[in-house]
Amino acid sequence: MMLTPHFSLAELTFSETAQRKQINNTPPPVIVQNLHLLAAGLEDVRAALGGLPLRINSGYRCPALRSPGCRTDPANDRGTRYGRMQALWELQYLPSV
């Protein structure tokens, strides 16, 4: 499901840890609403950077992914439980063609 023209629900909920540990990271409907708002904000960031692609690290982490056995950095969990905050791992600058 595309939340905006450039960001999908799958992208904002993807988790290598969830895949590895077979954890279902599907957000409830109220969180999906928040992720729509988050994606809209990310579109603004993308536009401000001249349309450069953004690499998404995390938009949502289910409770199981925020448990001590799964998380690598508790500081990154602040907004991911609500789908309201997101960490940009890096910006990928693509050379002009």
Which residue type occupies 78?
A: R
Model pTM score: 0.74
Q: How many CB atoms lie within 10 A of CB 24?
A: 9
Q: Domain range holding 26?
A: 9-91
Residue 52 domain-assigned?
A: yes
Residue 4 domain-assigned?
A: no
Residue 62 domain-assigned?
A: yes
Which residues contact residue 7 at a Cβ distance below 8 angstroms, ignoring those fewer than 6 apart? 39, 42, 43, 56
Residue 67 domain-assigned?
A: yes
Residue 3 domain-assigned?
A: no
Residue 27 domain-assigned?
A: yes
Q: What is the pLDDT of residues 8-45, one digit of tens each?
A: 999 999 989 899 999 999 999 999 999 999 899 889 98
Residue 24 domain-assigned?
A: yes
Question: What total number of domains does the chain contain?
Answer: 1
Q: What is the pLDDT of residues 44-87, one digit of tens each?
A: 988 988 998 888 877 888 888 888 777 555 555 555 555 555 44
